Chains A and B, each alone.
Chain A
Amino acid sequence: MTVLDVRGLRVWYGSSRGPVRAVDGVDLAIGAGEVVGLVGESGSGKSTLGKGLLGLLPDGAQMDGDVTLRGEPVDARELRRRRGSEVGLVFQEPMTRLDPLMRISEHFTELLKVHDPGVSKAQREKRALAALRDVGIPPSRYQQYPHEFSGGMRQRIMVALTLVLRPALVIADEPTTALDVLVEGQILAMLSELRVTYQMALLLITHDLGVVAETCDRVAVMYAGRIVEQGDVRTVFRDPSHPYTRELLRSTISLATSELHSIGGAPPDLVDPPSGCRFHPRCPDVMPICSSQDPLTSRLADGRRVECWLRGSRVDAR
């Protein structure tokens, strides 16, 4: 079942130089129990996309496009109304995400009182403790304050606070970036385990391709506000179809790396993006048509969707 279906989503901020088109026409769908990785460089619009889906954009940001949540079309106001209960968000920086003056128990009480007002105190505590147990926090620490926990434990608590309401969709925005590798592994393993138990759809926003390879079913590669390639993780990583995906994969570091590879140039200016394909100024395979016309979205035989003139012609041939 499709939990989230996004079509033609656009988000732009006002700036002194004109609108910044942070997300510019994104199509994305996630099913129940599915983990989709959203990858891209800093400033590619992936976090803006995540916040837009919760109606958490700052003042002065505009959102446009069709969002369907569990089959129902929803606008920005409706998304705000459903945050917490149907869409949950796990943030990047766990150290500062809990209110320092409130006990962990008070965080849960407040949350459950808002979303399930009729539930008894004992029932609330039972649910909170169950959610904490699922993320590996013992009940003995229920009455403690945030400063008594390490970064990894705080992120577990944030996950528990998100999951206790059983949202259909969880967006995790770089949930492990601020944590060390060992804790990162634990949190990621826990997230993939939990999406099976809770049957939730998980959108994992990250710039770490290794994390995507380990935890995701599908991957969507974002560049300058557009998704340039999306498909099954193994297929995309084994044989990247878009030159940007290929360059991105070449830039990763492993034990076999003898020389660092980087993509020349800088991410484009989102106030005045390049004409045609946004990647053409940095693309090693650039063709004359790339700078003059927007690439078409082509669906490859393996189910992948790619936005590139190189593939556009090939799909016609098949």
Chain B
Amino acid sequence: MGAVRSGSLARYIGTRLLLAIPMVWILLTMVFVLMRVAPGDPVSAALGARLSADQLAERRAAAGFDAPILQQYWDFLGHIVRLDFGRTLTDNRPVTDIIVENGGATLTLTLAAVILAVLFGLPMGLHAGRRRDKPDDIVIRLFGILTFAAPVFFVGLLFQLFFGKALGWLPTSGQASPVVQATVETKTHILLLDTIIAGDGEATGDVLKHLVLPAVTLGLLTLGVLVRMTRVNVIQTLGSDYVESARARGIPDRTVVVRHALRNALVPVITVMGLQAALLLGGAVLTEQTFNWPGIGNQLVDYLNNRDYTAVQGIITFFALVVVLISLLIDIINALVDPRIRY
């Protein structure tokens, strides 16, 4: 092993970006094929009952469904490159509009869920790892399995019943009260930010209250994995040679645990959290449906029920791109944390 210079971070990020291109291409192809494999003609499936045969043929041509399949594929790729996700069949709306209008709600929900999961998951995992096989470790482990195994919609329903109906503490539906929805001026399409910009403290509080149950529901989904991953990695790093050496040098226990054991344990945890991104988006769809949260996932389910193929294709493509982006981000974060990765 030679003396490898650090500081090739830019080159590392460049390589990752280049590698993302074939990844995106494969993803897009998979989305395209999956949508075409479904039987029947998308236009008549979505609109068949409402339009005449002539009108249907017209719509089919407008959506490009009469072109040869390779032509359709080429057009699809070309549009995505220009960030055009197509138009919905049912209400002829650009998918990009859905993403812009409903993306803010989904972003708020998933970010809040991740923040909650990290805020509670890391300390719980660290504590369990330090107190391996003691009663509190066993309780935390059980909690981790339970939250991971429980279906999102079921947990959501329980929360609604308990905190919404029985105790009446928190709202169980929507992103804000109707008054707030109507009065706060839309600027960023992120309601929480808009209320803050408007300086309306009461509205901000209202939005935050609406956020609690969905965010906790979705957060619990990742919390379980995070707790168990943190625990097992902390156990490993606490038994590592460099932790023992740090102790032998008289470094205080707190510093050893946080700076050496936890920090090293986080490298694999970050990677796994990146892989969780897809799970989180899937969970967001279910959570939005359960809490009638006006996010992209909610829209996706609506369009699915209406058999709107182009809308579903557009939204799924967007989700896929987000997952690729997150994994890219995770790669970069890992390289910043761990000098051995940026060869």
Q: Which residues of A contact B (CB under 8 A)?
A: 54, 56, 81-85, 88-89, 91, 93, 96-101, 110-111, 114-115, 141, 144-145, 147-150, 158, 161-162, 165
Known: A101-B337, A101-B338. A110 touches B251 (CB 8 A): yes
Size class of B's contact patch?
20 to 34
Contact of A89 with B248 in the complex, beta carbons under 8 Å? yes
Residue from the set B5, B241, B264, B338 with the largest chain A CB neighbour count within 10 Å: B241
In the complex, chain B residues 213-244 whose Cβ is within 8 Å of any chain A Cβ: 240-242, 244
Contact of B242 with A148 in the complex, beta carbons under 8 Å? no
Question: In the docked arrangement, what's the CA distance between A88 and B250, Å?
Answer: 9
Question: In the docked arrangement, what's the CA distance between A71 and B340, Å?
Answer: 46
Q: Which residues of B contact A (CB under 8 A)?
A: 1, 3-6, 240-242, 244-252, 255, 259-260, 263-264, 267, 337-340
| Other-chain contact of B249, A84, A93, A141, A147 (Cβ < 8 Å) | A84
Question: In the docked arrangement, what's the CA distance between A160 and B250, Å?
Answer: 15
Known: A101-B263, A144-B3, A150-B1. A56 touches B249 (CB 8 A): no
Question: In the docked arrangement, what's the CA distance between A88 and B246, Å?
Answer: 11
With CB as the reference atom, state the residue of chain B lying closest to A96.
Answer: B241
Distance (Å) between the CB of B256 and the closest chain A CB?
10
Contact of A84 with B338 in the complex, beta carbons under 8 Å? no
A110 / chain B contacts, CB cutoff of 8 Å: 251, 255, 259
A147 / chain B contacts, CB cutoff of 8 Å: 1, 4, 339-340
Question: In the docked arrangement, what's the CA distance between A150 and B6, Å?
Answer: 16
| Other-chain contact of B3, A81, A83, A149 (Cβ < 8 Å) | A149
Contact of B240 with A96 in the complex, beta carbons under 8 Å? yes
Q: List 5 A-B contacts (CB under 8 A).
A: A84-B250, A85-B250, A99-B259, A100-B264, A141-B3
Known: A110-B259, A145-B6. A96 touches B251 (CB 8 A): no
A98 / chain B contacts, CB cutoff of 8 Å: 242, 245
B248 / chain A contacts, CB cutoff of 8 Å: 54, 56, 83-84, 88-89, 91
Question: In the docked arrangement, what's the CA distance between A84 and B260, Å?
Answer: 17
Question: In the docked arrangement, what's the CA distance between A150 and B241, Å?
Answer: 17
Distance (Å) between the CB of B113 and the closest chain A CB?
28
Distance (Å) between the CB of A177 and the closest chain B CB?
14
Counting from the closest, the 4 A-B pairs by CB-CB distance are: A84-B250, A96-B241, A89-B248, A84-B249
Contact of B240 with A161 in the complex, beta carbons under 8 Å? no
B244 / chain A contacts, CB cutoff of 8 Å: 56, 91
Contact of A99 with B255 in the complex, beta carbons under 8 Å? no
Residue from the set B1, B5, B252, B339 with the largest chain A CB neighbour count within 10 Å: B339
| Other-chain contact of B242, A54, A56, A81, A97 (Cβ < 8 Å) | A97
Known: A100-B340, A145-B340. A83 touches B1 (CB 8 A): no
Question: In the docked arrangement, what's the CA distance between A161 and B250, Å?
Answer: 11
Contact of A158 with B3 in the complex, beta carbons under 8 Å? no
With CB as the reference atom, state the residue of chain A lying closest to B5.
Answer: A148
Known: A93-B241, A96-B240. A144 touches B247 (CB 8 A): no
B259 / chain A contacts, CB cutoff of 8 Å: 99, 110
Contact of A100 with B252 in the complex, beta carbons under 8 Å? no
Distance (Å) between the CB of B258 and the closest chain A CB?
12
Question: In the docked arrangement, what's the CA distance between A100 and B255, Å?
Answer: 16
Distance (Å) between the CB of A79 and the closest chain B CB?
11
Known: A100-B340, A101-B263, A101-B339. A114 touches B251 (CB 8 A): yes
A161 / chain B contacts, CB cutoff of 8 Å: 249
Question: In the docked arrangement, what's the CA distance between A56 and B260, Å?
Answer: 17
Question: In the docked arrangement, what's the CA distance between A85 and B244, Å?
Answer: 16
Residue from the set A111, A148, A149, A165 with the largest chain B CB neighbour count within 10 Å: A148
With CB as the reference atom, state the residue of chain B lying closest to A51.
Answer: B248
B252 / chain A contacts, CB cutoff of 8 Å: 114
Question: In the docked arrangement, what's the CA distance between A99 and B4, Å?
Answer: 17
B246 / chain A contacts, CB cutoff of 8 Å: 99
Contact of A148 with B4 in the complex, beta carbons under 8 Å? yes
Contact of B251 with A111 in the complex, beta carbons under 8 Å? yes
Contact of B6 with A100 in the complex, beta carbons under 8 Å? no
Contact of B241 with A91 in the complex, beta carbons under 8 Å? yes
A83 / chain B contacts, CB cutoff of 8 Å: 247-250
14 new A-B contacts at CB < 8 Å, known A111-B251, A147-B4: A54-B248, A56-B247, A82-B250, A84-B249, A91-B244, A100-B340, A101-B339, A110-B251, A111-B249, A141-B3, A144-B6, A145-B339, A145-B340, A148-B4
Contact of A115 with B250 in the complex, beta carbons under 8 Å? yes
Question: In the docked arrangement, what's the CA distance between A299 and B259, Å?
Answer: 50
A144 / chain B contacts, CB cutoff of 8 Å: 3, 6
| Other-chain contact of A148, B6, B251, B255 (Cβ < 8 Å) | B6
B249 / chain A contacts, CB cutoff of 8 Å: 83-84, 88, 111, 114, 161-162, 165
Distance (Å) between the CB of B55 and the closest chain A CB?
64
Question: In the docked arrangement, what's the CA distance between A149 and B3, Å?
Answer: 6
B1 / chain A contacts, CB cutoff of 8 Å: 147, 150
Distance (Å) between the CB of A50 and the closest chain B CB?
10
With CB as the reference atom, state the residue of chain A lying closest to B343.
Answer: A147
Distance (Å) between the CB of B341 and the closest chain A CB?
10
A82 / chain B contacts, CB cutoff of 8 Å: 250
Distance (Å) between the CB of B302 and the closest chain A CB?
46
A162 / chain B contacts, CB cutoff of 8 Å: 249
Contact of A84 with B340 in the complex, beta carbons under 8 Å? no
Question: In the docked arrangement, what's the CA distance between A26 and B107, Å?
Answer: 66
| Other-chain contact of A100, B5, B250, B338 (Cβ < 8 Å) | B338
B337 / chain A contacts, CB cutoff of 8 Å: 101
Known: A84-B251, A114-B250, A145-B339. A99 touches B260 (CB 8 A): yes
Question: In the docked arrangement, what's the CA distance between A88 and B340, Å?
Answer: 28
Question: In the docked arrangement, what's the CA distance between A88 and B251, Å?
Answer: 12
B247 / chain A contacts, CB cutoff of 8 Å: 56, 83
Question: In the docked arrangement, what's the CA distance between A91 and B340, Å?
Answer: 23
B241 / chain A contacts, CB cutoff of 8 Å: 91, 93, 96-97
Question: In the docked arrangement, what's the CA distance between A149 and B340, Å?
Answer: 12
